[in-house]
C-alpha cells in the first residue's frame, strides 16, 4: 500500500531510478510454527509486489535468508494491487502478530520491534503530479538491519490489517455469500450536501432476523473492524439528541462554538437510521434520517443557555444518485413533500444490492 507505517518503518526515495534491487537468495518454507512445503526463490526474479493489505502468513509459510544480507538492502518491490500468490512480498510474515489484534495494537512498540524490514515509498508515484501522470503507487522493501543466514524476514502489517483480518475470519461464510454480518459492516457513504465536504458513512448488521443501520460522524470506514470499540459508541436517534447529550456532558462553562466543535470533530457517535420495522433497505431506496429537531432554543444546562444552530437539519433527508435526479424529482414533487423532506445527493452509489440476507 502507500504504506503509512510510523517513521521508523517507512522511508522515501525520489524516483524508482534511485533504487537498486539486490539479487539475494531467499527461501520460502515453513514459518516458525507451521507445517508446509519448502521451495527456494530468487528475490529479483519473482513478481515482487503487494503490501500488507494483500500479504498474510495464513499459509503458515515464511521467507528466510539463505545468505547474509546487509542492512539497507532493497530486496523486492511491492504495490497495493498485486494478486500473484508467488510474490515474495505476499509470503513475508509479520512475526509481531501473536493471534490477537488488540494485543498487537496495545503492544505496538514490541510488534514494530520484531520487523527487520521497512517500506520505502517512491515519492513521484504518490504525489499529485504522479497521480495526474497516471503513475501507480510503488513501494520497495528494504532490510532495516543486517539479516543473518537462516533468519526469517518480518515486516509490520499494522493494526488495521489484523483487525480487518480477524473480522473477516469471524464472518467469512457470511461475507463470502455477500450477506450482512451480525456485527456492523461498512456498506455505503454519502455526501450530506454538495456545498460541504462532510461524508455520511452507513454501517449495517443483521441479527435475530432484523436489519440494523447506523450512520457515523467522524469515524473511519474501517473502524467497524474494531468490533468491541465500535459497539461501545453511543447511538442516538437524531442530531439534536447528540447535541443535547454533549451539552449535558461537556457543556459547563463552554461556549456554543466549543460545543459544536466537540460535536463535529471530537465526539464519536452513531445515528440510528434503521427502518422502524428493521426490514432491509433495497437498492437505491432513500434512507430517511430521523433528524427532526427537538426545540433546543433557550435550553439551560448548568446555568448556560444553548441554542439550535444551522448545522442541525430540521427535516428528514431523501437522498438521490445525482443532482439531475434530485432536480427532476423536486420539480415534480408536491408542496407537501417539499415541506416535509430535505433533498440531497449521494456521494456514491449504494452497496445495498451486494449485501442481502434473503
Ordered per-residue pLDDT tens for the chain, 358 residues: 334 445 679 999 999 999 999 999 999 998 874 433 334 444 544 333 333 334 444 558 899 999 999 999 999 988 766 667 678 888 899 999 999 999 999 999 999 999 999 999 999 998 888 888 888 889 999 999 999 999 999 999 999 999 999 999 999 999 888 889 999 998 877 655 444 455 678 889 999 999 999 988 668 878 999 999 999 998 988 777 777 777 777 665 566 667 666 666 677 889 888 888 998 887 666 666 654 333 334 444 344 433 333 333 445 667 677 777 878 888 888 888 877 777 766 544 344 444 455 5
Q: Where are the domains of the chain?
A: 7-164, 174-354
Model pLDDT, residue 156: 93
* 240, 294 contact by CB (below 8 A): yes
Contacts of 354 (CB under 8 A, 6+ apart): 178, 187
Map the chain to HEC letters: CCCCCCHHHEEEECCHHHCCECCCEEEEEECCCCCCCCEEEEHHHCCCCCCCCCCCCCCCEEEEECCCECCCCEEEEECCCCCCCCCHHHHCECCCCCCCHHHHHHCHHHHHHCCCEEEEEEHHHCCHHHHHCCCCCCEEEEECCCECCCCECECCCCHHHHHHHHHHHHCHHHHHCCCCCCCCEEEEEEECCCCCCCEEEEEEEEECCEEEEEEEECCCHHHHHCHHHHHCCCEECCHHHHHHHHHHHHCCCCCHHHHHHHHHHHCCEEEECCCCCCCCCCCCCCCCCCCCCCCCCCEEECCEEECCCCCCCCCCEEEECCHHHHHHHHHHCCHHHHHHCEEEECCCCCCHHHCCCC
Question: In the sheet that 61-65 helps form, which strands lie side by side, from edge to edge?
Answer: 39-42, 25-30, 61-65
**Set of cell numbers at residue 15:** 524516483
What is the sign, positive or negative, of the torsion defined by CA atoms of 220, 223, 224, 230? negative
pTM above 0.95, yes or no: no
Amino acid at each position: 500500500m502507500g504504506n503509512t507505517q510510523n517513521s521508523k518503518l517507512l522511508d522515501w526515495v525520489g524516483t524508482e531510478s534511485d533504487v537498486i534491487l539486490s539479487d539475494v537468495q531467499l527461501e520460502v518454507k515453513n514459518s516458525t510454527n507451521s507445517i508446509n512445503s519448502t521451495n527456494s526463490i530468487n528475490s529479483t526474479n519473482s513478481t515482487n509486489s503487494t503490501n500488507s493489505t494483500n500479504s498474510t502468513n495464513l499459509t503458515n509459510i515464511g521467507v528466510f535468508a539463505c545468505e547474509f544480507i546487509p542492512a539497507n538492502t532493497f530486496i523486492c518491490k511491492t504495490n497495493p494491487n498485486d494478486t500473484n500468490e508467488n510474490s515474495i512480498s505476499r509470503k513475508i510474515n509479520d512475526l509481531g502478530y501473536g493471534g490477537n489484534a488488540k494485543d498487537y495494537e496495545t503492544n505496538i512498540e514490541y510488534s514494530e520491534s520484531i520487523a527487520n524490514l521497512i517500506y520505502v515509498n517512491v515519492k513521484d508515484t504518490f504525489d499529485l503530479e504522479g497521480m495526474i501522470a497516471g503513475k501507480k503507487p510503488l513501494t520497495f522493501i528494504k532490510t532495516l538491519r543486517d539479516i543473518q543466514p537462516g533468519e526469517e524476514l518480518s515486516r509490520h502489517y499494522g493494526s488495521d490489517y489484523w483487525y480487518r483480518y480477524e473480522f473477516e475470519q469471524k464472518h467469512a461464510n457470511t461475507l463470502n455469500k455477500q450477506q450482512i454480518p451480525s456485527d456492523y459492516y461498512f456498506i455505503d457513504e454519502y455526501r450530506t450536501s454538495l456545498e460541504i465536504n462532510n461524508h455520511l458513512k452507513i454501517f449495517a448488521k443483521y441479527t435475530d432476523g432484523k436489519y440494523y443501520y447506523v450512520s457515523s460522524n467522524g469515524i473511519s470506514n474501517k473502524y467497524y473492524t474494531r468490533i468491541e470499540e465500535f459497539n461501545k459508541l453511543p447511538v442516538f436517534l437524531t442530531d439534536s439528541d447528540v447535541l443535547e447529550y454533549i451539552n449535558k456532558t461537556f457543556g459547563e462553562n463552554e461556549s456554543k462554538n466549543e460545543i459544536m466543535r466537540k460535536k463535529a470533530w471530537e465526539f464519536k457517535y452513531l445515528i440510528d437510521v434503521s427502518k422502524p420495522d428493521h426490514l432491509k433497505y433495497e437498492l437505491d431506496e432513500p434512507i430517511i434520517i430521523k433528524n427532526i429537531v427537538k426545540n433546543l432554543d433557550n435550553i439551560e444546562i448548568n446555568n448556560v443557555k444553548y441554542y439550535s444552530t444551522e448545522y442541525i437539519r430540521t427535516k428528514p433527508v431523501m437522498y438521490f444518485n445525482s443532482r439531475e435526479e434530485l432536480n427532476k424529482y423536486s420539480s415534480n414533487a408536491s408542496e407537501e413533500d417539499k415541506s416535509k423532506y430535505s433533498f440531497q445527493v449521494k456521494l456514491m452509489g449504494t452497496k445495498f444490492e451486494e449485501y442481502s440476507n434473503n
